Amino acid sequence: MRTIISLIATLLIGAGVNKAASDEKKVIRISTDSTDLLLQVGDNGRLYQTYLGPKLLHEADTREFDWSRHAATDGAVSRRGWEAYATSGNEDFFEPALGMTHADGNMTTYLYYVDSSSEPVDGGIHTRISLRDNKYPLDVTLNYMAYPKENVIKTWSEISHHEKKPVSLWQYASGMLYFDKGEYWLTEFSGDWAKEAGMSSQQLQFGKKVIDTKLGSRAAMHASPFFEVGLDGPVKEHSGEVLMGTIGWTGNFRFTFEIDNVGNLRVIPGINPYASAYKLDADETFTTPEFIFTLSYDGTSQGSRDLQAWARRYGLKDGDAPRLTLLNNWENTGFKFDENILSGLMKEARQLGVDMFLLDDGWFGNKYPRRNDRAGLGDWEATRDKLPGGIPALVDSARNAGVKFGIWIEPEMVNPKSELYEKHPDWVIEQPDRDTYYYRNQLVLDMSNPKVQDHVFGVVDDILTKNPDVAYFKWDCNSPITNIYSPYQKGNQGNLYIDHVRGIYNVLKRIKEKYPDVPMMLCSGGGARCDYEALKYFTEFWCSDNTDPVERAYIQWGFSQFFPSKAMAAHVTGWNKKTTVKFRTDMASMCRLGFDIGLEKLSPDELAYCRDAVANWKRLSPAIMDGTQYRLVSPYDTNHMAVEYVDGTGNTAVVFAYDLATRFSEKLQRVKLQGLDSAKRYLVKEINLMPGTETRFPQDGKILTGDYLMKIGLDLLSSRQKTSMVVELTAQ
Ligand code: DGJ
């Protein structure tokens, strides 16, 4: 039977390749309103990228590709370099997108064009290109989804085969992009706990620069899954050509940037194949994560706006829905609370004017109560002595206080000191005969095991079945995968890192299907999970446990490169008490606003200020959450930061301006606004003022034209330390 299948497959392969010959020179055009990505079948029947850049005006020009630009030094025109999905073992001597060992041990793969099709999908055009090996029954489909209006392209690949035995995949990129420029400058986003998404730049030179993670579950703790490449010099905010890319993968990812012998750059985003030689059975399809990118010709600010607009429309769960302001208790109480304390906090939430109270870690575990992070994780029953009425009593208290109730979970993890671990030691990723390394005293459940997936789904399902009024989840993930070994995978350990992440998605899909309207916050010991695949299921992510407003300026600036404000959660806490409550609140107000502070720590004026700030935030959320963002003054380039949001009508705008580490008598630049209507006249008003303080804003109360505001600007900055100003603009 197998032999007949292979014979048919071989005949079909032949047919595909013959067809390719007739499609020789076929051009596939993937376009947005401002960008073209052109792929063309070469005279050898293989598929090459011929162009990626600003949109071409004339269709005929898309065929005028100068192949000699792509010739390697030996003059082998179209035979080396720029293959759309380069494979291993052929004449391309640089990093491939696909590398595999076939069932017979052969490590070469040659992909030939078979056919392609395009169809309209929600917001864009989906192009599928089929490629096939001419010697092995191996198929690769390249997918490109272009969103014209937002100038965003999403690409991913599907790999399948009908070989007699499983094949081993050891490179499986989501896609591949090439550039032919004089200089390439990479901006990466790296850090650690409490210092997420720190930006740094370097010029790329011959060879490879790799950004990757091997952390498995808390995967983005040291490197965020996004990057920028300046294509004519270091990236700039308001000018220059820049590639901005991000991968939707909540596990180990890898970005490879390689400059070849002729100075061309290839960018290869994908899952990190580290310890992941993937055994792929015949007739199964390996689907790579989506790589989402934009090319901006006006610097990162425009690229961010395009990505943010795309995210709100297509990338983010409930991207068009409002967000809930909240009071959290983690920074305030830690593990020390009971029913009484919580019902008091719910009343405080009401006093602040926020929508919800969010109960954090420490509410569960009976045999091993969760009094600290050393026990109880995995046992999702309310601790009886702490919370005798369980979740139902808390939901009732919240209802009585007039706020919604949300709850923290970390369902993919387990403390060894838990009933779950006692019952199911084989559900855990752990080396049976070696010393175990515990990160935060916990271990990661093996999400590749369907039984574990059922358990994790059950955590959410059980809470919501018994308490349908639970309005929100904060889903945490505090440990990387240590001691990598799955009893479930047995001889297929190479599949574990990948199937683990796919298992998480299986669970999230089930939750979204059954509870489509429950918002969830993605959290990972701060911001170590922040990718667009997870954000199909989460309405927002927690940027960082570092809520010091000065540090937050940099963290939020970093994340804002790729995410809209409504995806980014920020709370006012007691971090950096040397700064005022106003400064802390104004910093959190440029994201989804929340609080995590006891009201007894606020003076009556501060409380009045916070209530006012919450009301202002809600009123202005069409601009802050759903409007267009303009990053005006960078904390990386100056001692200040200013960010502006303009609502969809162009009639309301709000500007947040912050003085960070200012210098004595430094020269202060006026801040020129953007995105306004030059012809309109705007009332300019400082808001979020502390009770009893007078505005020091020179233009307060003036009516100024959009033209003036954008050409002359406002005196929003000061040389005082750690101060902030929030200004509302209303078209008259
Ligand atoms: C890490 C999160 O980032 C915090 O906000 C908090 O939820 C703790 N985990 C709880 O353990």
Q: What is the 3-state secondary structure (H, E, C) of 643-708?
A: EEEECCCCCEEEEEEEECCCCCCCCCCCECCCCCCCCCEEEEEEECCCCCCCCCCCCCCCEEEHHH
Task: Please tell me the distance between residue 178's alpha carbon and the centre of ligand 1 in angstroms.
Answer: 40
The beta strand positions in 61-123, using DSSP E, are: 98-101, 111-121
User: What is the rounded CA–CA span in Å between residue 62 and residue 66?
Assistant: 10
Angle at 608 between CA 592 and CA 728, to 5 degrees: 55
Angle, to 10 degrees, between the axis of helix 390-401 and the axis of helix 450-466?
50
Task: Please tell me the distance between residue 485's alpha carbon and the centre of ligand 1 in angstroms.
Answer: 26
Task: Please tell me the distance between residue 11's alpha carbon and the centre of ligand 1 in angstroms.
Answer: 57
In the chain, which stretches have pLDDT less than 70?
Answer: 1-24, 66-81
Ramachandran region of residue 526, left (φ > 0), alpha (ψ -120 to 50) or beta?
left
The residue to which tokens 């630009």 are assigned: 69
Task: Please tell me the distance between residue 290's alpha carbon and the centre of ligand 1 in angstroms.
Answer: 28
Which residues, including other chains, have CB under 8 Å from residue 600's CB and lie 6 or more apart?
none
Task: Please tell me the distance between residue 475's alpha carbon and the centre of ligand 1 in angstroms.
Answer: 9
Look at ligand 1, atom 6, and give the residue with the nearest C-alpha.
Answer: 330
Question: Terminus-to-terminus CA distance in the chain, angstroms?
Answer: 78
Structure-block tokens of residue 594: 């929340």
pLDDT at res. 77: 43
HSE toward the beta carbon, residue 288, CA cutoff 13 A: 34
HSE toward the beta carbon, residue 434, CA cutoff 13 A: 10
Q: Does ligand 1 have an atom closer than 6 angstroms to the CB of 523?
A: yes
User: What is the rounded CA–CA span in Å between residue 379 and residue 418?
Assistant: 7
Residue 539 DSSP class: S
Please say whether the dihedral angle defined by the alpha carbons of residues 321, 544, 192 and 432, taken in this order, is positive or negative.
negative
Which residues, including other chains, have CB under 8 Å from residue 473's CB and lie 6 or more apart?
406, 407, 408, 409, 460, 518, 519, 520, 521
CB atoms closer than 10 angstroms to residue 726: 25
pLDDT at res. 6: 43
Task: Please tell me the distance between residue 218's alpha carbon and the centre of ligand 1 in angstroms.
Answer: 13
Contact between 418 and 376 under an 8 Å Cβ cutoff? The reply is: yes
Among residues 439, 438, 425, which one has the least CA distance to residue 488?
A: 425
Ligand 1 atom closest to residue 524's alpha carbon, by position in its atom list: 3
Q: How far is CA 207 from the centre of its chain?
A: 27
H/E stretch holding 707: helix 706-711
The residue to which tokens 């390394």 are assigned: 437
Task: Please tell me the distance between residue 719's alpha carbon and the centre of ligand 1 in angstroms.
Answer: 35
Ligand 1 atom closest to residue 523's alpha carbon, by position in its atom list: 3
pLDDT at res. 692: 96
- The pair phi, psi for residue 465, each rounded to 5°, is -65, -45
pLDDT at res. 25: 77
Ligand 1 atom closest to residue 408's alpha carbon, by position in its atom list: 7
DSSP for 203-227, please give it: E--SEEEEEE---TTSTTSSEEEEE
Contact between 229 and 259 under an 8 Å Cβ cutoff? The reply is: no
User: What is the rounded CA–CA span in Å between residue 265 and residue 248?
Assistant: 22
pLDDT at res. 64: 82
- The pair phi, psi for residue 227, each rounded to 5°, is -160, 165
Q: Does ligand 1 have an atom closer than 6 angstroms to the CB of 575?
A: no
pLDDT at res. 206: 97
Mutate to test the pocket of ligand 1, among 221, 478, 524, 543 (most ligand atoms within 8 A of CB): 478
Among residues 716, 704, 640, which one has the least CA distance to residue 676?
A: 704
Contact between 653 and 716 under an 8 Å Cβ cutoff? The reply is: no
Contact between 225 and 184 under an 8 Å Cβ cutoff? The reply is: no
pLDDT at res. 69: 58
H helix runs in 531-640, sequence order: 549-560, 581-588, 604-619, 621-624
Q: Does ligand 1 have an atom closer than 6 angstroms to the CB of 364?
A: no
User: What is the rounded CA–CA span in Å between residue 333 and residue 238?
Assistant: 43
Q: What is the dihedral of CA 29, 31, 37, 42, to 10 degrees?
A: 0
Task: Specify the 3-state DSSP secondary structure of 426.
Answer: helix
Task: Please tell me the distance between residue 588's alpha carbon and the centre of ligand 1 in angstroms.
Answer: 17
Among residues 283, 220, 179, which one has the least CA distance to residue 563?
A: 220
Q: Does ligand 1 have an atom closer than 6 angstroms to the CB of 408?
A: yes
DSSP for 17-40, please give it: HHHHHHTTT-EEEEE-SSEEEEEE
Mutate to test the pocket of ligand 1, among 218, 545, 568 (most ligand atoms within 8 A of CB): 545
DSSP for 327-394, please give it: EE-HHHHTT---HHHHHHHHHHHHHHT-SEEEE-S--B-SSS--SSTTS-TT--SB-TTT-TTHHHHH
Q: Does ligand 1 have an atom closer than 6 angstroms to the CB of 361?
A: yes
CB atoms closer than 10 angstroms to residue 150: 24
Q: Does ligand 1 have an atom closer than 6 angstroms to the CB of 531?
A: no
Ligand 1 atom closest to residue 545's alpha carbon, by position in its atom list: 3
Look at ligand 1, atom 10, and give the residue with the nearest C-alpha.
Answer: 361
Look at ligand 1, atom 11, and give the residue with the nearest C-alpha.
Answer: 361
User: What is the rounded CA–CA span in Å between residue 658 and residue 224?
Assistant: 25
Task: Please tell me the distance between residue 282's alpha carbon and the centre of ligand 1 in angstroms.
Answer: 42
Look at ligand 1, atom 4, and give the residue with the nearest C-alpha.
Answer: 525
Among residues 269, 246, 290, which one has the least CA distance to residue 145?
A: 290
Amino acid at 587: M
Q: Does ligand 1 have an atom closer than 6 angstroms to the CB of 475?
A: no
Q: Does ligand 1 have an atom closer than 6 angstroms to the CB of 376?
A: no
The residue to which tokens 């400064």 are assigned: 583
Structure-block tokens of residue 152: 């965003």
Q: Does ligand 1 have an atom closer than 6 angstroms to the CB of 697?
A: no
Task: Specify the 3-state DSSP secondary structure of 169.
Answer: strand
Task: Please tell me the distance between residue 334's alpha carbon and the centre of ligand 1 in angstroms.
Answer: 9
Pairing label, strands 404-409, 470-475: parallel
Among residues 274, 268, 15, which one has the least CA distance to residue 139?
A: 15
Contact between 110 and 86 under an 8 Å Cβ cutoff? The reply is: no
Task: Please tell me the distance between residue 546's alpha carbon and the centre of ligand 1 in angstroms.
Answer: 11
Q: Does ligand 1 have an atom closer than 6 angstroms to the CB of 273?
A: no
Task: Please tell me the distance between residue 35's alpha carbon and the centre of ligand 1 in angstroms.
Answer: 41
Look at ligand 1, atom 1, and give the residue with the nearest C-alpha.
Answer: 525
User: What is the rounded CA–CA span in Å between residue 267 and residue 179?
Assistant: 8
Amino acid at 359: L
Residue 314 DSSP class: I
Task: Please tell me the distance between residue 525's alpha carbon and the centre of ligand 1 in angstroms.
Answer: 5
Task: Please tell me the distance between residue 523's alpha carbon and the centre of ligand 1 in angstroms.
Answer: 8
